[in-house]
Amino acid sequence: MSVEKQIWVWADYRNYFQSRVTLQILARASVLAEKTNATVCAVVFGDQVDAYVKEYIAHGAQKVYVTDDPFLKTYNVASYAFLLTALVRRFAPETLLIGATRFGQEIAPRVAKQLETGLTADCIDLDIDENGQLVQKAPSFGGNLVAKIITPDTRPQMATIRPGTFQELPHDDEAKGEVIPVPLPDTMPSPRVRCLKSELHPARARKIETADIVITGGRGMGSKGKFRKLFDLADLLHAEVGATRPVVYADWVSSEALVGQAGKHIRPKVLFSFGVSGAIQHTAALADARFIVAVNKNPNATMMKLADVAMVADANQVCSGIIRALKQRIRD
């Protein structure tokens, strides 16, 4: 009797509908499953999670393992990691994929450690090699290389994947999936941390990962005050603002705006890049940008070479000039 191969996707549904990462990973898992003749499974923990179970089936999950219990109402990394480890030991999936959200980043290493298996963090692509193994592609050596990592000796093959890396499948109301309820194990440890209060962070109406127009700014913008002009331009263009790491570290903008290996992957129709050098850690997240306009005073900057339109100029002056011209056009 052949054992069914399974690809598991851990369901991170907090901040749904803002964060679509689980749906995005399910879409990629469907492609990988086709290549390996595997079954795509979602694993959902929580209290009254029926709606999510249906949502995952509509987005490609052929099976959903569900532990639905009031004990799991509040996310607790120790309990969730314990439960996920227990389920993996019991059902032995070939692969376990987790979104590289804050939750995913804390649960995945704990589970990998308990299972004594490998984990590739922050993957920017996943594929299958000629031996049917999961190829986990992740920026490495400071982002100068994209490493292809396999897990030849242990199972499951584990990876976290950045939000925005893959595109979710369309919602299919007709899709059918098997739901497998799994009760909470008796051995569940009591939580050592108690959540006293939680508040939802207000969702932004627009998101950089899905925006059609993105304006990114780098250190070449010069100062926090000058960087703020990019937001004025973004308002005029109905765009979102992204940033490089030095800009985030200098606190010119919040880490939500970080674009690159350690931040968001973007896929705009048009990208305006102001004062950005184009380090691989940043540009790794721009591969899906369709048309790039770069402004940099250095014509040899990598970002200028990647651009469809490269302007050798002062970023701040160009930004102010476009704002003036657009405002003038609105007035006329």
Among 87, 218, 230, 240, the residue binding ligand FAD under the rule CB under 6 A is 218
Crossing angle of helices 102-115 and 77-91, rounded to 10°: 50
Region near ligand FAD per CB under 6 A, out of 70-78, 114-122, 190-198, 276-284: 276-284
Contact 38, 7 (CB under 8 A): yes
Q: Which residue in the set 220, 230, 234, 268 belongs to the binding site for ligand FAD (CB under 6 A)?
A: 220
Site for ligand FAD in 240-259 (CB under 6 A): 244-247, 258-259
Which CB, 155 or 297, lies closer to ligand FAD? 297
- Identity of the residue numbered 108: A
CB of 250 to ligand FAD, least distance (A): 9
Q: In the chain, which ranges are E strands? A: 6-10, 39-46, 63-68, 95-99, 119-123, 125-128, 134-140, 145-149, 157-161, 178-181, 213-217, 240-243, 270-274, 291-296, 309-312
Least distance (Å) from ligand FAD to the CB of residue 253? 11
Q: How many CA atoms lie within 13 A of 91 on its CB side?
A: 25
Q: Looking at the DSSP assignment, which residues form a beta bridge with residue 270? A: 213, 291
Q: Which two tokens stand for residue 119?
A: 């984990």
Query: Among 27, 263, 271, 310, which residue interacts with ligand FAD (rule: CB under 6 A)?
Result: 263
| Sole window of 52-60, 113-121, 227-235, 277-285 interacting with ligand FAD (rule: CB under 6 A) | 277-285
Is residue 298 part of the contact set for ligand FAD (CB under 6 A)? yes
Question: Binding to ligand FAD by residue 261, rule CB under 6 A?
Answer: yes
Which tokens is 79 given? 């309990």
**Beta strands 95-99; 157-161: pairing state:** parallel
The site string for ligand FAD over 121-150 (x = CB under 6 A, - otherwise) reads ---------------------xx-------
Footprint of ligand FAD (CB under 6 A):
142-143, 218-220, 222, 244-247, 258-263, 275-277, 279, 281-282, 295-298, 301, 314-316
